[in-house]
Amino acid sequence: MNIVLLGAPGAGKGTQAALLEEKYGLVHISTGDIFRANIKGGTPIGKVAKSYIDAGKLVPDEVTCDIVKDRLTRDDVKSGFMLDGFPRNLFQAEELDKFARIDVCVNISVDFSLIMDRICGRRVCSCGASYHISSLGGRTTCEKCGKPLYQRADDNPETVGARLETYKTQTAPLIDYYKAQGKLLTVECGNATPAEVFAMICGKLDGLNK
């Protein structure tokens, strides 16, 4: 099964992707993670991406599509993959349909009013784990691997506003794109915990296979 995870910044795509990877063995491909690794490594792609990411804008489509297309040529995706953060606009969705088969789009729907607090309170670990300060009780290290937690450079109030705007104008139209293809599964999060959201997603995915 090949899945697209759709949702506003801070909707919890990365958290759900980690859980889905564990349960279904799907390979997790996050364009945001790929860009951050490139920035850290000082690569040419990282240099291009940084200015866009810091401004809350989308990295140019050619760069982004090439990265995903290339990643999907690796053997490990043959038994199924999950795209987290891609596609993020209509052009990318149409390109993706040219080089891969997508079975389902899981749309994680959250109340926009929650997003600012979620993202600005987010602390992440290089292992991929993500926490909110309200549940850390002062801890500064990762529960899973013990490494120090840090705040992403783009997780600040100024950038979050721009990212939300980018989401509304460019990414949200993909909900209708996948609906029209009959591939859309929407999960309404409300105040649900990550575990509850995961249970809702699994219920919907398992329902598909019956």
Q: Would you name the residues annotated as active-site residues?
A: 13, 88, 122, 152, 163
Please state the closest distance from residue 207 (CB atom) to ligand ADP, in A. Answer: 26
Q: What is d(CA 9, CA 112) in angstroms, rounded to the nearest whole number?
A: 9
Q: Three-class SS of residue 152?
A: coil
Report the site for Zn ion in 147-186 (rule: CB under 5 A): 147
Total chain residues near Zn ion (CB under 5 A): 7
- Nearer Cβ to Zn ion (2/30): 30
Sign of CA dihedral 184, 92, 108, 175: negative
**Among the residue ranges 72-80, 97-105, 143-151, 201-209, the one whose residues contact Zn ion (CB under 5 A):** 143-151
Nearer to Zn ion, 26 or 142 (CB): 142
Residue 131 interacts, among ligand ADP, Zn ion, none and using kind-specific CB cut-offs from 5 to 8 Å, with none
Residue 137 CB, nearest distance to ligand ADP (Å)? 24
Long-range contacts (CB closer than 8 Å, 24 or more residues apart) made by 168-177? 170/58, 170/88, 170/89, 170/90, 171/6, 171/8, 171/88, 171/89, 172/8, 173/89, 173/90, 174/6, 174/87, 174/88, 174/89, 174/90, 174/93, 174/105, 175/6, 175/107, 177/90, 177/93
Residues β-bridged to residue 82: 3, 28
Tell me which long-range contacts 195-202 makes (C-beta under 8 A, separation of at least 24): 197/12, 197/16, 197/108, 198/16, 198/19, 198/20, 201/16, 201/20, 201/106, 201/108, 202/23
Tell me how far, at minimum, the Cβ of 56 lies from ligand ADP, in Å.
6
Nearer to ligand ADP, 176 or 206 (CB): 176
Select the residue whose beta carbon is closest to ligand ADP and give its number. Answer: 32
**Which among ligand ADP, Zn ion, none contacts residue 129 (Cβ within 5 to 8 A by kind)?**
Zn ion
Binding segment for Zn ion (CB under 5 A), chosen from 9-17, 19-27, 122-130, 131-139, is 122-130
Q: Does 129 bind Zn ion (CB under 5 A)?
A: yes
Chain residues binding ligand ADP by CB under 6 A are 9-10, 13, 31-32, 35, 52-53, 56-59, 64, 85-86, 88, 92, 163
Closest separation in Å from C-beta 53 to ligand ADP: 4
